[in-house]
Amino acid sequence: MILLLFDIDGTLIFTGGAGMRAFSRALHEVFDIRIDGSDVRPDGKTDPLILREILASFDLSGRCRPGTRQEMFALYIRYLEQEMEKARESGRIAILPGVEDFLPAVSSESDFALGLATGNLEDGARVKLEKAGLYGYFKFGGFGSDSEDRTELTRIGIERGMRYVRPDSVDGVFVVGDTPLDVIHGRNAGASVIAVASGRYGVRELQVCAPDLVLSDLREAESIISFMRNGRGSISCNKW
C-alpha cells in the first residue's frame, strides 16, 4: 500500500480568503485586535503557530493560554463554517487544477490510501473540504490540532494511516504540498514529497528544497500514480 497525505490550502483548494476572514473575526472578538493579510504569512504553518506568531507581533503572547486559545479556535471554526458557506454560494472556492480528476483516480486504485497532513485544525480541515465537496476522499490525517509542529503532525498522520491500512502492508508514503515548509517537514517525517506549484510558490522555489517530484499542478493523474508506484524516476508530465 502507498499512503498519500495531502496538504489542503494551495494544494487542493483556495478558500477565496474565507479562512483568513474567519481567523480575523475570531481574533478580533477574543483579543480585540485587527489583522489584515499583510500581518500574516500562513503558508505551510499550522493554525496554532499562526496564532502564536500573531499574538507575539501584538505583544500579547501572555494571553496565549490554553483556555483562551480554545475559545479562539471554537469561534474560528464557527466563523469558518459561515465564511466557507458564503464562499461556496458565491463560487469563490477554487478547486485547484487536476484535483477533481486526480482524487477519484487515485482513490479508485486499491493500493493507495488517502489522508491529510495539514496545519489546519482537524475541524477546520473538515469544514473546508466538506464545503469544497472533497472531504469523503480522506480516511485519516495529521492536523494542526495534533501538533503545532508540522513534522510532528505529519508523523501522526502517517501513523494513523498505517493503522488504517495495516502497518506491514505499507511500502511507500508520499506527502503532497505546495510550500517549502511542506517539503521540509514531509521529509523530516520520513515521507517522500511531491511539491505542486499550485499555491503561492513557483516550481523553482520548490525545487530548491529538493522534493522527490515537482509539478505545476495535479493534472495527468496516471503519470503521477505511476511515479509513486515506481518510487522514483523521471516524469514526463507537467513540463515547465
Question: Does 178 participate in binding Mg ion (rule CB under 5 A)?
Answer: yes
For 109, the grid coordinates are 486504485
Question: Among 6-14, 55-63, 162-170, 204-212, which window interacts with Mg ion (CB under 5 A)?
Answer: 6-14
Question: Under rule CB under 5 A, how many of the chain's residues touch Mg ion?
Answer: 4
**Residue of 2, 10, 147, 155 interacting with Mg ion (CB under 5 A):** 10
- Closest separation between CB of residue 70 and Mg ion, Å? 24
What sign does the dihedral 83-86-90-94 (CA atoms) show? positive
d(CA 85, CA 122): 18
Of the pair 9, 83, the CB lying nearest Mg ion is at: 9
Question: Does 47 participate in binding Mg ion (rule CB under 5 A)?
Answer: no
d(CA 145, CA 219): 30
CB 173 within 8 A of CB 2: yes
Contact string (CB under 5 A) for Mg ion, positions 107-126, x = contact: --------------------
Contacts of 204 (CB under 8 A, 6+ apart): none
The two beta strands, 13-14 and 94-95, are antiparallel
**Residue of 2, 5, 9, 12 interacting with Mg ion (CB under 5 A):** 9
Orientation angle between helical segments 18-31 and 47-57, nearest 10 degrees: 50
Of the pair 162, 175, the CB lying nearest Mg ion is at: 175
Contacts of 90 (CB under 8 A, 6+ apart): 16
Of the pair 10, 48, the CB lying nearest Mg ion is at: 10
- Closest separation between CB of residue 120 and Mg ion, Å? 9
What sign does the dihedral 194-119-139-156 (CA atoms) show? positive
**Residue of 7, 83, 146, 212 interacting with Mg ion (CB under 5 A):** 7
- Closest separation between CB of residue 166 and Mg ion, Å? 29
Of the pair 1, 153, the CB lying nearest Mg ion is at: 153
Of the pair 19, 31, the CB lying nearest Mg ion is at: 19
Residues near Mg ion, by CB under 5 A: 7, 9-10, 178
